[in-house]
């Protein structure tokens, strides 16, 4: 009986030991507590009159954040939470969106266009919530407050194209006659500001300024009034759909080919070729602040992989490139803020001071020029390239052109 009792006790002790060991093993393999996410706002015109630009931009923003979260583990273990909202290229929707970004404690935000950022900037500046737009206009950054331009603005586009035109295209005597055809918002206003400030110095006669809406269906009437001016060059600062309408109208009137046409970067992308037709826009010049899809730069392979897996229809569209780069910049701003201030101490003000304003020669994988904050100049990247449409392809015809600061104040 005694031996049986000993055996039972020994068995019980073994069970207790096994249970203890199993508990110890279980406790050591538990997943560590997840770190709090870092929340940012993003807004693109993915529907509406500028959807040909906004849809691929929104895709790229979210594809890049997916890559950072799933392959890179976020920032020091903190995943990035995106409050993404479609503004439909509508100012009233953009006002509602920026209020949500403020009320829902976003640490910073991005926008695609200068027009929608113009609608958002008042509330953002009042609340000291920093944001940056992929496409910007001087009104966003001058005077400098809490809004930044990811790349050179629409005024810089005009200056870069005008200098290239004078140095490489114009062969006549005297001053060439230039007309502007501009979208009736900040996209057009930025180019107008630069042209009025710099045309005379470059030796260009600015003879006419025309405006069009984002929903225009014909610009025959406006261009007909330019026929008597005998212009040499037409510069368009708009989005792709209206730009296509202006160029098709110029072809219909027999103005083009004949004159030179140059475009700012808001309208100069693959969507322009698709909308107008490769034969219509052949030979048109444009300015754009990124590399092309065939350029061999470090970020190209990963970006291409995600684009082709998740949004293959966007492949070849440089608006996808600029927004992938935009997300990389947002991630770098957060990384710097975490490094300099600690994740538990982040507020929008800390992110701006310890993240955005600490940007220095950040390389965005070579997708566009290096990103640096310079006090007094809220443009983060400061270089562009001139392209020409050749056989339906936007071919770069210059290297990087530095866009010097133009003070409009």
* Domain layout of the chain by residue ranges: 38-152+296-378, 155-288
Paired tokens of 120? 């958002």
> Which DSSP letter does residue 165 get?
I
- Looking at residue 408, its pLDDT comes to 87
Beta strands 80-86 and 109-111: pairing type? unpaired
Rounded to whole angstroms, the Cα distance separating 80 from 396 reads 34
- Looking at residue 22, its pLDDT comes to 41
Which of 3.90.550.10, 3.40.50.2300, 3.40.50.720, 3.20.20.70 would CATH assign to domain 38-152+296-378?
A: 3.40.50.2300
Other CB atoms closer than 10 Å to residue 29's CB: what's the count?
A: 7
Rounded to whole angstroms, the Cα distance separating 67 from 179 reads 44
Beta strands 147-149 and 177-183: pairing type? unpaired
Assess if CATH 2.102.10.10 describes domain 155-288. Answer: no
In Å, what is the CA distance from 396 to each residue of 283, 286, 325, 400?
12, 9, 19, 10
Of 186, 162, 165, residue with least CA distance to 237: 186
**pLDDT tens series, the chain, 409 aa:** 444 444 443 444 443 444 444 444 444 455 567 899 999 999 999 999 999 999 999 999 999 999 999 999 999 999 999 999 999 999 999 999 999 999 999 999 999 999 999 999 999 999 999 999 999 999 999 999 999 999 999 999 999 999 999 999 999 999 999 999 999 999 999 999 999 999 999 999 999 999 999 999 999 999 999 999 999 999 999 999 999 999 999 999 999 999 999 999 999 999 999 999 999 999 999 999 999 999 999 999 999 999 999 999 999 999 999 999 999 999 999 999 999 999 999 999 999 999 999 999 999 999 999 999 999 999 999 999 999 999 999 999 999 999 989 988 7
Rounded to whole angstroms, the Cα distance separating 41 from 380 reads 19
Of 216, 210, 222, residue with least CA distance to 244: 216
Paired tokens of 60? 């790229």
Residue located via tokens 């970020």:
299
Paired tokens of 139? 């009104």
In Å, what is the CA distance from 196 to each residue of 34, 54, 238, 287, 378?
55, 29, 17, 19, 22
- Looking at residue 32, its pLDDT comes to 65
Rounded to whole angstroms, the Cα distance separating 325 from 323 reads 5
- Looking at residue 30, its pLDDT comes to 57
**Is the CA virtual torsion 247, 114, 191, 328 positive or negative?**
negative
Q: Please say whether the beta carbons of 84 and 112 come within 8 A.
A: no
- Looking at residue 31, its pLDDT comes to 58
Output the DSSP codes for 335-375: HHHHHHH-GGG--HHHHHHHTGGG--SB-GGGSBS-B--BT
Looking at the DSSP bridge assignments, the partners of residue 208 are 179
Of 136, 87, 380, 378, residue with least CA distance to 266: 136
Domains 38-152+296-378 and 155-288 share a fold: yes
Of 388, 189, 387, residue with least CA distance to 290: 387
Rounded to whole angstroms, the Cα distance separating 60 from 82 reads 13
């Amino acid at each position: 009986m005694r031996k049986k009792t000993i055996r039972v006790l020994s068995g019980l002790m073994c069970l207790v030991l096994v249970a203890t060991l199993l508990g110890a093993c279980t406790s050591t393999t538990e997943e560590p507590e997840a770190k709090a996410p870092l929340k940012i706002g993003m807004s693109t015109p993915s529907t509406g009159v500028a959807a040909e630009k906004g849809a691929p931009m929104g895709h790229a923003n979210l594809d890049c954040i997916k890559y950072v979260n799933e392959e890179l583990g976020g920032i020091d273990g903190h995943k990035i939470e995106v409050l993404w909202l479609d503004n439909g290229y509508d100012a009233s929707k953009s006002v509602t969106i920026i209020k949500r970004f403020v009320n829902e404690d976003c640490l910073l935000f991005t926008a695609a266009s200068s027009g929608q950022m113009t609608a958002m900037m008042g509330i953002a500046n009042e609340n000291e919530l920093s944001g940056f737009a992929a496409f910007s206009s001087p009104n966003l950054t001058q005077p400098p407050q809490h809004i930044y331009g990811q790349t050179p603005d629409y005024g810089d586009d005009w200056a870069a194209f005008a200098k290239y035109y004078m140095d490489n295209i114009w062969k006549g005597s005297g001053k060439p006659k230039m007309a502007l055809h501009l979208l009736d918002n900040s996209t057009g206003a930025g180019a107008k500001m630069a042209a009025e400030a710099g045309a005379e110095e470059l030796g260009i006669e600015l003879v006419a300024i025309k405006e069009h809406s984002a929903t225009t269906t014909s610009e025959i009437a406006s261009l007909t009034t330019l026929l008597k001016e005998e212009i040499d060059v037409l510069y368009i600062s708009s989005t792709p759909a209206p730009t296509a309408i202006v160029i098709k109208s110029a072809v219909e009137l027999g103005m083009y080919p004949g004159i030179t046409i140059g475009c700012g970067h808001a309208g100069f992308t693959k969507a322009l070729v698709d909308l107008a037709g490769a034969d219509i826009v052949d030979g048109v010049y444009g300015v754009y602040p990124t590399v092309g899809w065939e350029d061999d730069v470090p970020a190209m392979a990963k970006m291409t992989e995600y684009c082709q897996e998740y949004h293959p229809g966007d492949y070849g569209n440089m608006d996808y490139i600029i927004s992938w780069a935009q997300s990389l910049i947002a991630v770098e701003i957060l990384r710097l803020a975490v490094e300099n201030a600690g994740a538990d101490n982040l507020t929008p003000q800390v992110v701006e001071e310890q993240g955005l304003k600490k940007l220095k020669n950040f390389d965005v994988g070579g997708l566009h020029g290096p990103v640096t904050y310079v006090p007094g100049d809220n443009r983060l990247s400061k270089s562009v390239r001139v392209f020409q449409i050749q056989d339906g392809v936007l071919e770069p015809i210059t290297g990087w052109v530095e866009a010097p600061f133009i003070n409009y104040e």
